[in-house]
Structure 1
Amino acid sequence: MNKVPDHAVNRLRIWRKSISTRPFLARGGAVPRCEACQLRHAWCACEWRPELKAEAGFCLLMYDSEPMKPSNTGRLIADVLPDTTWAFLWQRTKPHPELLALLADPAWQPYVVFPACEKEPTRLTTEVTLAPGKKPLFILLDGTWPEARKMFNMSPYLDGFPVLAVKPEALSTYGMRVANCDEHLCTAEVAACVLEVAGELEAGQALQLWFNLFSSRYMAGRVSRAPGEDETPLLQALEAIKGEGGELAEVGLRGSDAA
């Protein structure tokens, strides 16, 4: 049995399960899975999970049941960047005190990551510009798109922060849930884009590779299709990143798109 990574999303998931009054019945929730990577046992990917450090931080605001879903990709961010990822359940009127303390921490410069800001277009930016001594803290709204819009519009404690709009060149490869349109990326894909915008290229690529492997194997597990040779470039790229001084491998990103 693989050890479950000790990071913010997994701790939140454990706590959320502890307060549940009935079993969680998400799609795929009854399937036996590796507790560490949430993939079916025969498709476990723990061996290739990368773990890095970055200057950028992530604050995940997760809709109520999101930490419980095996398809959740916010967890992948914490897998890769456990030291600088925080996770909280979203509360409209009573945000967690630790969340408010993080947002007010002078070491961080928060950005709400969201594709648009119709009510206050002056808040919208496509660049990360930091004040001296500040590090970027990217606030991700982790849920379905209707839930994310609700969190964005009904969280007054986020109103004072700039809104970072990410416009990736590639469309989403996320097939585990149906988005309203192809341009809508999942949480991990957004985080990978944001890391590159912030100049954290290695962390961004590591996260994209880890997401690609998770997505490919999650979908393969749904139809009982064994991992194939088409994974080889992706696994090699992850091994390179995990190794000391490993080179970044663009082929790993491209090679998994068709999985």
Structure 2
Amino acid sequence: MNRSSKAAAAVLTAAGILAGGLVAAPPTAAGERVLWGSVTIPPGRDGIVEASGLSGPALGFGSSLTLTAPAGARVTGVPLTAAGYRGEVAADGRTAAYTATSAESLWETRTFPFVLAVPADAVPGTRLDGCVLRLADAEGAERAIGGCQVTVGLPSPVLSRPESGVPLGYRPAASGTAYPGAQVTVSDQDGNEVCVDTAGADGHWNCAPGRDLPAGANRLQATATLNGVSASSEQIQIAVGSPTPETAPAAPVPPR
């Protein structure tokens, strides 16, 4: 089966769902800088908040950037391996921090990833409150504060029918699985809607086109939507216009 994927990568970068990573806003009236970041993570999955774009004076050896996980989530990793910084996750997963290990370590010149895990029972579309970001100097004095918005996303739906490489009629049925209650829209390679269904309590869905698809090569993709968040399946390469196995003419019987 030949499938090409447009599914989002698990690592959410500044060019994707993580809109701008962690940024330092202009100083407030009190002279503090406000930190901010956002990320969308499906239930039971991990995602990465990338802290970047910090500005201001170098804080040097012993300064630290700490993330406190939002309610229900856990910090599970600090994957940066660059020299000059040490990452550590608290045993309970509530917090994680990067600490500068040299006087030359500059917070504004690097991106600092924190891995967050969202619980499997989290409801798609909800926002997990309590994500806190804090930049402190070596003495522990707060130099920048803020938070990150963690939204529970949707698992990618699965488009299991039709199968690639199988001759198809002009209205091929589509089916698969998705998060229960999600609306599933199947689209062709041009973004035209092919058919729509709602995933049942068991996650299964199925639909059929209400019109003929154009003859020839095409691609189908399923997109699930629920509570304002969405996710897409892998694409399936299909060929429309060939007779289906049920309608194909029977092979002639050779004379005896």
- TM category, shorter: under 0.3
Report the TM-score when normalising by structure 2: 0.23
Which structure's residues are more often strand, by fraction? 2
Which structure's residues are more often helix, by fraction? 1
Report the TM-score when normalising by structure 1: 0.23
